Chains A and B, each alone.
Chain A
């Protein structure tokens, strides 16, 4: 008797509580979607990281921080381009700030660290920022990690063919920095170039080399062009010395060779630089209407920003609009361990600010367009200009995944096609 009465009381209280909870939930707006982000605002890539946040801010402002009827709360973190720090920041965002989605990071090894971390998460999603290591999505991919930007090997698509067929070059000397990113770029170039029958003499130099005279002295006599996969001051040092010894072979660059360091510096290298071809995901001058609109918006919103948005700005923007579009599609629904949201992410297709079409492969890695670029003198300012486009470049360069993986990881010795 007393038991049943207690039972009844409990029932009554439970019902009242449930009604209150329900009406409370209905009266209240849906909680905001929390998006965390990680980029590098310290260390060597700080300027790129700042530019990435400029672009992200534009993406959020365009929709007034609202998607699918829910507010967006944006929590920014900074890393210094080392994986341990990126991981510590990601843990803070997920565990302390309880974000639903992380957008980031910027550099290659950080991306791999966050990929590993995302595998341990349930119901959270990490979408890449600008990191470009191939293995992040190629080998052992994580179901919670998405990348809507292309990576170093993809970026070289079309360049090997252009060098062999349009430039008529049969033997190039490779001058490249001796670490993972150039390996990936060289792999992308040689994959096409060696297939067509070209030969490559490889000359590696450590990162931060200032004296390239011994490398220039080793150039074979019969080369038709120089393939320069260096960045920043290393590329500048090589081109200056090569110009000073009277070098006049055409230069083929990597995706980060023609950066601002090289373009804005004055000196003898400018003679060699004009007309230098390269390949990559963006070009300063690109008459695609999407790009013209994006650059105009960027300049208006950020008068003290760069003259033209950087590669990191474009990559973070592309990944951010992918997230926003998928959230719109599911009406801001992140329930059920984000199952609907992740499915939407995996299947969306959209146009990046460069005008390139973007969709994902089975490893959640972008398949997108790559531009052939050349350096032009645009009224006294050196800029890169798009003159060709390779559509739908996949991470496996159009091959079956197994056949591509069987080619092995890019390294100093892989691939190889030395002159006979």
Chain B
């Protein structure tokens, strides 16, 4: 199956090679806390971009779904403090957690199946806030406000997960696979129907497709993606607390997706990278009193100048350049 044109494949391969070579160029801090962090949060943003761009569903519940996976893996983790009753090896806990997130995604889709636009936002926001408050007040499973700590992650090839190279490459491989998965799915008949629903759900229904089922399946797939993000974020944060899935975290993921650009899955990772950079260095640039103002201004400027985010800027530049190329090749006939 052709996911992308040859040129796109070449570009993707170049990008991947650069990302694979990053450990040679960057100190560990940048590797783990800028690029690694951007990759794991970018996965959650990717699930939102997938829903928003190909299905037309802007859901605020993706952080919550990631949180379902995060809490599931934390409850089953063999190193957890406090240790749960159902401690399992990570090899079982991780797939189960991702499965739980997939189910949670499907349930969100089921609940929101008949809503769209602002009403969809409201319902998903309510679910997100509700789940975070529930986690905060439930002691038995979620350990309340203090959350579940010491989720250090599995050993990979005998090396602890928090080793910078192990963490970075795991995050990179998972992110790359999920990114390719999204690009693949949107070319399948299922993905095409999804885009048809985005453009006109009534016409899609009139042709004979079951719109509701496709929507639920799309939310389940987004849950699967967000679940991987949730598991990796929990390892990155060495645990999970209600604030990891609270309103601020939910808005953070939305900001990543929007400034990166909802127009392409890659935008999610670009947005997450900008977010991580700003979040880490704004206070160094402007001092610790006003750094949130700087972060807000940068985000505003990005969205004002380019409503479709950084990806949109790139797209427009490419279009301008592409236009010139086409003129040049005008007498050579078709470029492709």
Specify whether A and B are partners. Answer: yes
Task: Name A's B-contacting residues (CB within 8 A).
Answer: 41-42, 76-78, 80-84, 87-88, 91-92, 95-96, 108-109, 112-113, 116-117, 120, 133, 135, 139-140, 178-180, 206, 411-412
Please name the residue on chain B nearest to A411 by beta carbon: B139
Which chain A positions have C-beta within 8 A of B144? 179-180
Interface residues of B in 29-52 (CB under 8 A from A): 29, 32-33, 37
Instruction: Tell whether, in the assembled complex, residue A92 and residue B280 are in contact, meaning their CB atoms are under 8 Å apart.
Output: yes
Given contacts A133-B146, A139-B81, A178-B137, 9 further A-B contacts (CB under 8 A): A82-B243, A82-B246, A83-B243, A84-B244, A84-B249, A91-B33, A109-B147, A116-B238, A179-B136
Bound Cα distance from A82 to B307, whole angstroms: 30
Which chain B positions have C-beta within 8 A of A41? 288-289
Instruction: Tell whether, in the assembled complex, residue B238 and residue A92 are in contact, meaning their CB atoms are under 8 Å apart.
Output: no
Which chain B positions have C-beta within 8 A of A82? 241, 243-244, 246, 248
B90 at the interface (CB under 8 A from A): no
Which chain A positions have C-beta within 8 A of B145? 108-109, 179-180
**Chain A proximity of B301: nearest CB distance (Å):** 21
List 30 A-B residue pairs with CB atoms under 8 Å apart, sorted by A's residue number: A41-B288, A42-B292, A76-B288, A82-B241, A82-B243, A82-B246, A83-B241, A84-B241, A84-B243, A87-B237, A88-B279, A88-B280, A91-B29, A91-B33, A92-B29, A92-B280, A95-B27, A95-B33, A108-B145, A109-B145, A109-B146, A112-B146, A112-B149, A113-B149, A133-B146, A135-B146, A178-B137, A179-B137, A180-B146, A206-B137
**Chain A proximity of B182: nearest CB distance (Å):** 26
Bound Cα distance from A81 to B81, whole angstroms: 21
Bound Cα distance from A117 to B239, whole angstroms: 10
Give the contacting residue for A78; candidates B147, B248, B291; CB below 8 A: B291
Which chain A positions have C-beta within 8 A of B32? 91, 95
Which chain A positions have C-beta within 8 A of B239? 83, 113, 116
Bound Cα distance from A412 to B137, whole angstroms: 11
Please name the residue on chain A nearest to B280 by beta carbon: A92
Which chain A positions have C-beta within 8 A of B246? 82
**Chain A proximity of B202: nearest CB distance (Å):** 42
Bound Cα distance from A23 to B208, whole angstroms: 85
Q: Count A/B pairs, Cβ under 8 Å.
A: 84
Instruction: Tell whether, in the assembled complex, residue B237 and residue A78 are in contact, meaning their CB atoms are under 8 Å apart.
Output: no
Bound Cα distance from A109 to B238, whole angstroms: 13
Bound Cα distance from A116 to B139, whole angstroms: 20
**Chain A proximity of B290: nearest CB distance (Å):** 10
Bound Cα distance from A411 to B291, whole angstroms: 38
Instruction: Tell whether, in the assembled complex, residue B33 and residue A88 are in contact, meaning their CB atoms are under 8 Å apart.
Output: yes
Interface of B is mostly: helix
B162 at the interface (CB under 8 A from A): yes
B306 at the interface (CB under 8 A from A): no
Bound Cα distance from A88 to B8, whole angstroms: 34
Convert B127-143 into 0s and 1s, putting 1 for each residue whose CB lies closer than 8 angstroms to a CB of A: 00000000011010000
Instruction: Tell whether, in the assembled complex, residue A92 and residue B33 are in contact, meaning their CB atoms are under 8 Å apart.
Output: yes
Instruction: Tell whether, in the assembled complex, residue B146 and residue A84 are in contact, meaning their CB atoms are under 8 Å apart.
Output: no
Which chain B positions have C-beta within 8 A of A206? 137
Tally of chain B residues near chain A (CB < 8 A): 33
Give the contacting residue for A140; candidates B136, B150, B288; CB below 8 A: B150
Interface residues of B in 186-235 (CB under 8 A from A): none
**Chain A proximity of B185: nearest CB distance (Å):** 30
Which chain B positions have C-beta within 8 A of A116? 149-150, 238-239
B283 at the interface (CB under 8 A from A): yes
**Chain B proximity of A152: nearest CB distance (Å):** 12
Which chain A positions have C-beta within 8 A of B292? 42
**Chain B proximity of A80: nearest CB distance (Å):** 7
Bound Cα distance from A117 to B249, whole angstroms: 20
Instruction: Tell whether, in the assembled complex, residue B238 and residue A78 are in contact, meaning their CB atoms are under 8 Å apart.
Output: no
Please name the residue on chain B nearest to A133 by beta carbon: B146
Please name the residue on chain A nearest to B136 by beta carbon: A179
Instruction: Tell whether, in the assembled complex, residue B291 and residue A96 are in contact, meaning their CB atoms are under 8 Å apart.
Output: no
Instruction: Tell whether, in the assembled complex, residue B29 and residue A96 are in contact, meaning their CB atoms are under 8 Å apart.
Output: yes
Q: A82-B248, A113-B237 are in contact. Are A77 and B288 (CB under 8 A)?
A: yes
Bound Cα distance from A76 to B137, whole angstroms: 32
B170 at the interface (CB under 8 A from A): no
Give the contacting residue for A109; candidates B81, B241, B280, B283; CB below 8 A: B241
Interface residues of B in 152-193 (CB under 8 A from A): 162
Instruction: Tell whether, in the assembled complex, residue A140 and residue B137 are in contact, meaning their CB atoms are under 8 Å apart.
Output: no
**Chain A proximity of B285: nearest CB distance (Å):** 13
Instruction: Tell whether, in the assembled complex, residue B146 and residue A108 are in contact, meaning their CB atoms are under 8 Å apart.
Output: yes
**Chain B proximity of A143: nearest CB distance (Å):** 15
Please name the residue on chain B nearest to A94 by beta carbon: B29
Which chain A positions have C-beta within 8 A of B249? 84
Q: Give the 8 A-B residue pairs with the shortest CB-CB distance, closest first.
A: A82-B243, A95-B29, A96-B29, A180-B145, A78-B288, A116-B238, A76-B288, A84-B237
Interface residues of B in 280-315 (CB under 8 A from A): 280, 283, 288-289, 291-292
Bound Cα distance from A251 to B239, whole angstroms: 39
Which chain A positions have C-beta within 8 A of B244? 82-84
Which chain B positions have C-beta within 8 A of A108? 145-146
Among A84, A91, A120, A179, the most chain B Cβ lie within 10 Å of the Cβ of: A84
Bound Cα distance from A140 to B279, whole angstroms: 31
